[in-house]
């Protein structure tokens, strides 16, 4: 497998559509779908509503399970403030703006920028609405704390947009991971501002689903240990601080350092796609501001050496760093099927999501509709 640094645009509803298209097809083959849909609803929302309507009809006929999960709004708020601090650092660092006292305090970010013209320049970049998710107005409020100190706080509108995006990304991830374990069709629908409702026809053991999302997906970016070959390490003894992991597709042994350069919380998003040159399935990924900075430093220090992208102790890819990678985005390619690319992307998303999904409701439904 290889990793290429290439343009990876913002996540769109079209990307989400690719992840749940197989579910739509499965439901369409099984039975006609009926749902009252608003004409202006996004395509993904329409598909979710159709699948949900089919799942409701199926669970009434054959029984199954209903579950409700809650996303971690507290972890999202913490991530939002951390990202804001990292954005401030990136802007002042890249713009060579003198600053001091950059810190998180009481749910906001404070920084001292002595020159008014520098403050204006930083704020102009910082308060511009982000490309995704769409935010009405500025994403931050700015308060003058005096003596060149300013305080920045995410707006309520921005946080609400981030929360909607978290719910949407979580639903997309749940869709694919249920599909991976052959639970289909499954209704995966928003339930209020921070909850997700699952309608699972024919599933009499919801504990299996709960266990799937209780375990945190582990993603890490690590250097490959080139002090000896993996075959020699397996025959003799492992170097201190290293371990042998096996390839995702071919079980090839890789000797990798245990220490991680970056982990799942350094990612901001991932999505399946197709290579523009070969049209082969790939996985696009993007780092957040902190991850972009850490990855740039790591690749600058290790040009000419291989590093491994590890998902749940399986090596997805182990490319050689040809040059410093500063763009914060790239793609993993190499012999993926469409289903594998979607599955890997969903697990990267699961690793990148702030906090955990919390199960708040679970019940088994009899075919008659009565629960037990």
pLDDT tens, residue by residue, 120-138: 888 888 876 565 677 777 8
pTM score of the predicted model: 0.79
Of the candidates 325, 282, 291, the one whose C-alpha atom is nearest the C-alpha of residue 219 is 291
Domain boundaries for CATH 3.30.1360.200 within the chain? 2-9+217-352
Task: Indicate where the chain has its CATH 3.90.1070 domain(s).
Answer: 74-154
Distances (CA, A) of 2 to 212, 253, 258, 270, 315: 29, 16, 21, 16, 12
Q: What's the CA gap between 222 and 353, in Å, rounded?
A: 20
Residue 216 confidence (pLDDT): 86
Nearest to 357 by CA among 45, 145, 70: 70
- Taking phi first (over 0 means left), then psi (-120 to 50 degrees means alpha), and beta for anything else, what does residue 106 get? left
Given a cut of 90, whether residue 332 has pLDDT beyond it is no
User: What pLDDT, in 10s, does the model give residues 66-89?
Assistant: 999 999 999 999 999 999 999 899
Residue with the bigger pLDDT between 5 and 161: it is 161
142 near 152, Cβ under 8 Å? yes
CB 271 within 8 A of CB 15: yes
Confidence check: pLDDT of 9 > 50: no
Strand partners, 196: 69, 190
CATH topology of domain 74-154: Hypothetical Protein Ta0175; Chain: A, domain 2 (3.90.1070)
Return mean pLDDT, the chain: 84
- Cα distances (Å, whole numbers) of residue 141 to 78, 79, 126, 137, 201: 17, 17, 10, 10, 46
Banded model confidence at residue 329, pLDDT cuts 50, 70, 90: confident
Fold exhibited by the domain 2-9+217-352: Gyrase A; domain 2 (3.30.1360)
CA-to-CA distance for 137 and 108, rounded, in angstroms?
A: 18
Q: Is the pLDDT of residue 263 over 90?
A: yes
């Amino acid at each position: 497998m290889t990793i290429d640094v290439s343009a990876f645009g913002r996540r769109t509803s079209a990307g989400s559509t690719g992840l749940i298209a197989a579910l739509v097809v499965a439901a369409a083959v099984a039975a006609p779908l009926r749902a009252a849909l608003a004409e202006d609803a996004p395509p993904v929302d329409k598909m979710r509503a159709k699948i949900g309507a089919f799942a409701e009809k199926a669970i009434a006929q054959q029984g199954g399970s209903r579950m409700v999960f809650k996303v971690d709004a507290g972890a999202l708020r913490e991530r939002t403030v951390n990202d804001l601090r990292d954005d401030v650092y990136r802007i002042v660092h890249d713009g060579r703006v003198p600053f001091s006292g950059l810190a998180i305090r009481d749910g906001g970010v404070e920084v001292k920028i002595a020159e008014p013209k520098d403050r204006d320049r930083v704020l102009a970049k910082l308060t511009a609405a982000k490309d995704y998710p769409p935010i009405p107005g500025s994403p931050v409020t700015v308060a003058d704390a005096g003596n060149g100190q300013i305080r920045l706080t995410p707006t309520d509108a921005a946080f609400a947009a981030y929360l909607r995006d978290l719910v949407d990304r979580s639903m997309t991830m749940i869709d694919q991971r249920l599909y991976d374990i052959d639970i289909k069709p499954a209704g995966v629908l928003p339930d209020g501002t921070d909850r997700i409702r699952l309608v699972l026809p024919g599933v009499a053991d919801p504990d299996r689903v709960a266990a799937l999302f209780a375990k945190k997906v582990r993603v890490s970016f690590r250097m490959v240990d080139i002090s000896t070959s993996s075959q020699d390490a397996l025959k003799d003894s492992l170097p201190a601080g290293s371990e042998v992991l096996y390839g995702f597709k071919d079980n090839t042994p890789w000797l990798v350092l245990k220490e991680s350069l970056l982990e799942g919380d350094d990612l901001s998003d991932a999505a399946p796609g197709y290579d523009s040159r070969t049209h082969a399935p790939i996985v696009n990924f993007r780092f957040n501001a902190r991850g972009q900075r850490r990855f740039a430093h790591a690749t600058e220090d290790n040009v000419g050496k291989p590093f491994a992208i590890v998902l749940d102790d399986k090596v997805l890819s182990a490319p050689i760093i040809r040059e410093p990678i500063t763009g914060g985005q790239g793609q993993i390619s190499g012999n993926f099927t469409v289903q594998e690319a979607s599955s890997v992307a969903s697990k990267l998303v699961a690793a990148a999501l702030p906090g955990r999904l919390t199960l708040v409701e679970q019940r088994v439904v009899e075919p008659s509709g009565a629960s037990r």
